[in-house]
Copies of this chain bind each other. A is one copy, B any other.
Amino acid sequence: MQDALRRFKADIFQALAHPTRIAILELLRDGDLSAGALIEKLGMEQANVSQHLAVLRAKQLVSNRKAGNQVFYSVRDPILIDVLDLMRTYFHAHLKESLGMLDELDKTPEAVR
Protein backbone atom coordinates (compact mmCIF):
# COMPACT_ATOMS: atom_id res chain seq x y z
CA MET A 1 0.00 0.00 0.00
CA GLN A 2 2.67 2.47 1.00
CA ASP A 3 4.44 1.59 -2.12
CA ALA A 4 1.38 2.05 -4.29
CA LEU A 5 0.91 5.47 -2.76
CA ARG A 6 4.48 6.38 -3.53
CA ARG A 7 4.15 5.18 -7.07
CA PHE A 8 1.11 7.37 -7.37
CA LYS A 9 3.00 10.36 -6.02
CA ALA A 10 5.95 9.65 -8.26
CA ASP A 11 3.63 9.55 -11.23
CA ILE A 12 2.34 13.00 -10.44
CA PHE A 13 5.84 14.37 -10.09
CA GLN A 14 6.75 12.66 -13.32
CA ALA A 15 3.92 14.49 -15.03
CA LEU A 16 5.33 17.75 -13.68
CA ALA A 17 8.83 16.86 -14.80
CA HIS A 18 8.87 18.61 -18.13
CA PRO A 19 9.38 22.31 -18.86
CA THR A 20 6.57 22.41 -21.38
CA ARG A 21 4.09 20.86 -18.97
CA ILE A 22 5.12 23.28 -16.27
CA ALA A 23 4.61 26.10 -18.73
CA ILE A 24 1.16 24.77 -19.54
CA LEU A 25 0.14 24.67 -15.89
CA GLU A 26 1.49 28.13 -15.32
CA LEU A 27 -0.48 29.40 -18.29
CA LEU A 28 -3.61 27.79 -16.88
CA ARG A 29 -3.02 29.38 -13.52
CA ASP A 30 -5.43 32.22 -14.08
CA GLY A 31 -8.16 30.36 -15.92
CA ASP A 32 -9.09 28.09 -18.76
CA LEU A 33 -7.40 28.17 -22.12
CA SER A 34 -8.13 26.31 -25.32
CA ALA A 35 -5.57 23.92 -26.72
CA GLY A 36 -5.11 26.33 -29.59
CA ALA A 37 -4.44 29.24 -27.26
CA LEU A 38 -1.88 27.16 -25.39
CA ILE A 39 -0.18 26.16 -28.61
CA GLU A 40 0.00 29.78 -29.68
CA LYS A 41 1.31 31.05 -26.36
CA LEU A 42 3.87 28.30 -26.17
CA GLY A 43 4.93 28.73 -29.76
CA MET A 44 5.40 25.02 -30.17
CA GLU A 45 4.30 22.24 -32.52
CA GLN A 46 0.64 21.36 -32.33
CA ALA A 47 1.32 17.65 -31.98
CA ASN A 48 3.89 18.18 -29.30
CA VAL A 49 1.66 20.33 -27.13
CA SER A 50 -1.19 17.92 -27.65
CA GLN A 51 0.98 15.10 -26.44
CA HIS A 52 1.96 16.99 -23.33
CA LEU A 53 -1.69 17.72 -22.70
CA ALA A 54 -2.34 14.02 -23.03
CA VAL A 55 0.18 13.34 -20.27
CA LEU A 56 -1.43 15.92 -18.00
CA ARG A 57 -4.83 14.44 -18.76
CA ALA A 58 -3.68 10.90 -18.13
CA LYS A 59 -2.44 11.88 -14.69
CA GLN A 60 -5.58 13.96 -14.17
CA LEU A 61 -3.71 17.15 -13.47
CA VAL A 62 -5.96 19.03 -15.85
CA SER A 63 -9.55 18.67 -16.87
CA ASN A 64 -10.87 19.47 -20.27
CA ARG A 65 -14.19 20.50 -21.65
CA LYS A 66 -15.24 20.54 -25.24
CA ALA A 67 -16.83 23.66 -26.62
CA GLY A 68 -17.74 23.03 -30.20
CA ASN A 69 -14.61 22.87 -32.17
CA GLN A 70 -12.32 23.61 -29.29
CA VAL A 71 -11.14 21.96 -26.12
CA PHE A 72 -10.63 24.06 -23.05
CA TYR A 73 -8.20 23.01 -20.38
CA SER A 74 -8.01 23.96 -16.75
CA VAL A 75 -6.06 22.92 -13.67
CA ARG A 76 -8.15 20.30 -11.97
CA ASP A 77 -7.28 21.00 -8.35
CA PRO A 78 -6.03 24.35 -7.02
CA ILE A 79 -3.78 22.46 -4.64
CA LEU A 80 -1.53 21.95 -7.62
CA ILE A 81 -1.13 25.69 -7.91
CA ASP A 82 -0.18 25.77 -4.25
CA VAL A 83 2.42 23.13 -4.94
CA LEU A 84 3.84 25.16 -7.79
CA ASP A 85 3.88 28.24 -5.57
CA LEU A 86 5.68 26.40 -2.81
CA MET A 87 8.17 25.13 -5.32
CA ARG A 88 8.65 28.65 -6.57
CA THR A 89 9.68 29.65 -3.07
CA TYR A 90 12.06 26.76 -3.10
CA PHE A 91 13.47 27.70 -6.48
CA HIS A 92 14.06 31.25 -5.40
CA ALA A 93 15.90 30.06 -2.35
CA HIS A 94 18.18 27.74 -4.28
CA LEU A 95 18.49 28.81 -7.86
CA LYS A 96 21.43 31.02 -7.08
CA GLU A 97 23.48 28.23 -5.64
CA SER A 98 22.34 25.67 -8.17
CA LEU A 99 23.07 27.55 -11.32
CA GLY A 100 25.02 30.68 -11.93
CA MET A 101 21.92 32.67 -12.62
CA LEU A 102 21.80 35.04 -9.70
CA ASP A 103 22.39 38.19 -11.68
CA GLU A 104 19.91 37.28 -14.37
CA LEU A 105 17.35 36.33 -11.76
CA ASP A 106 17.52 39.67 -10.04
CA LYS A 107 17.01 41.42 -13.33
CA THR A 108 14.06 39.28 -14.32
CA PRO A 109 10.69 41.04 -14.10
CA GLU A 110 8.45 39.65 -11.42
CA ALA A 111 5.82 38.66 -13.96
CA VAL A 112 8.14 36.18 -15.55
CA ARG A 113 8.83 34.09 -12.51
Contact = CB atoms under 8 A, between A and B. Distances in A.
Interface of A: 1-14, 16-23, 26, 60, 77, 79-80, 82-84, 86-87, 89-91, 93-95, 97-99, 101, 104-105, 108, 112-113
Contact of A1 (B20, B23, B77, B112): B112
Given A83-B86, A83-B87, A77 B93 contact: yes
A83 B90 CA distance: 10
Copies of this protein chain in the complex:
2
Contacts of A90: 12, 77, 79-80, 83
A85 to B, nearest CB: 10
A52 to B, nearest CB: 12
A53 to B, nearest CB: 16
